[in-house]
Amino acid sequence: MSGFFEYIGEMAENAIRVTGEIFLMLYQSVVWMFVPPFKLRNLFKQMEFVGVKSMFVVLLTGSFTGMVLALQSYNALKRFGAESLVGPTVALSMARELGPVLTGLMVTGRAGSAMATELGTMRVTEQIDALYTMAVNPIKYLVVPRIIAGILMLPVLTVIADFIGVAGGYFISVHVLNINPGVYIGRTIDFVKVEDIFDGLIKSFFFGLILSLVACYQGFYTKGGAEGVGRAATKSVVMASVLILIADYFLTSMMLK
């Protein structure tokens, strides 16, 4: 019986500890972010990895999401004779919700897991300890560039996803569903505001922070050899994805106020 309570207690303690460690890491990263020297080369490498190399995945997901949105919303809106609203539906969904969230999830799967694995391997092969002995702060050297890359690259990827999604929706609407292209674009411009796009970008900024921070955290505190590295990768993806979706809800509710 006491084992059950112990289990719950451990879980609670664990959750609190993880939260604390993550925030501590964030705090340290922010502090180290402004301490020279700034190794820009390192940062650009991470930006290339997170941003440029994720572009293809984001293009694929974005375009197909836009296309399927057009199909689905056409199917629903046709019943009210409101086919002209397919454009706004696709554009608003992409800009406000699907663009940032899907980008966040895809980058988590692609780059987040890689970050966790990389840092985890460095941990279990004691390279991080080696950095300490060389008087190099591993937070500054390893975590800060990754977090900055995540924060900066996610909005850019989101913009691309938004655009390619709307383009995909346009393609399907005009060439498959025979919606008037002028109406499609006109309605979209009528309904979508610039704030919608920027709201999405603010979201993606937070998603970038979440995924890079979680991945770094999971990798940084990896225990238990090769197996531990695998576990860290899995954990980072699951945790970052869930946190992104939760954060999405709260960010949306704050923005719609």
Partner 1 sequence: MLKLTPEAKVGMFVLLGVIILVYMSLRIGGIQFGKGEGYEIFVKLPSAAGLDKDASVRIAGVEVGRVKDILLEDNKAKVIIRVHPDVKVGTDFVAVLKTKGLLGERYLELIPGSPNASMIEHGGEITRVTTYTDMDRLVGQLSEIATDIKAVSSSVSSVLGGGEGEAVLRRIVTNIEEVTTNLNTVISSNDEKFGRMLTNFEEFSKLLKDKSPEIADGMKNIADNLNQVITENRENLKGGISNLKSASVKLEETMETLNKLAKNVEPKIDDAITSIGGAAKKVDDTASSIGNVAKKIDKGEGTIGKLINDPSTHDNLNKTLTGINTYITKADQFKTFLGFRSEYLFGAGDAKSYLSLRIQPKADKYYLIEVVDDPQGRRKTKTTETTTGGITTTTKEVITEDQIKFSAQIAKRFHDATLRGGIIESTGGFGVDYYLFNDRLKLTLEAFDFDKKRNPRVKTAATYNINKYFFVTGGYDDVISKVGGESLFIGAGFHFEDEDIKYLLTSAPIPTR
Contact status: 156 vs partner 1 (CB under 8 A): yes
Contact status: 257 vs partner 1 (CB under 8 A): no
Tokens 């293809």 — which residue?
A: 56
Contact status: 237 vs partner 1 (CB under 8 A): no
* Distance between CA atoms of residues 75 and 71, nearest Å: 6
Whole-Å CA distances, 214 to 7, 18, 114, 184: 24, 10, 12, 40
Q: Are 111 and 210 in contact (CB under 8 A)?
A: no
Q: How far is the CB of 77 from partner 1 (least distance, A)?
A: 12
Contact status: 41 vs partner 1 (CB under 8 A): yes
Q: How far is the CB of 188 from partner 1 (least distance, A)?
A: 8
Round to the nearest angstrom and report the end-to-end CA distance of the chain: 46
Q: How far is the CB of 187 from partner 1 (least distance, A)?
A: 10
Selected range binding partner 1 among 13-21, 24-32, 70-78, 154-162, rule: CB under 8 A: 154-162
Q: Where are the alpha helices (DSSP H) in the chain?
A: 2-33, 40-50, 55-77, 86-93, 99-107, 113-124, 127-133, 138, 144-171, 181-191, 194-220, 225-255
Q: How far is the CB of 82 from partner 1 (least distance, A)?
A: 9
Selected range binding partner 1 among 37-45, 66-74, 138-146, 240-248, rule: CB under 8 A: 37-45
Binding residue (CB under 8 A) for partner 1 from 197, 209, 243, 251: 197
What are 232's two structure tokens? 């860290």
Binding residue (CB under 8 A) for partner 1 from 69, 116, 119, 192: 192
3-state DSSP assignment of residue 171: helix
Site residues, partner 1 (CB under 8 A): 40-41, 44-45, 47-48, 51-52, 55, 152-153, 155-157, 159-160, 162-163, 166, 188-190, 192-194, 196-197, 201
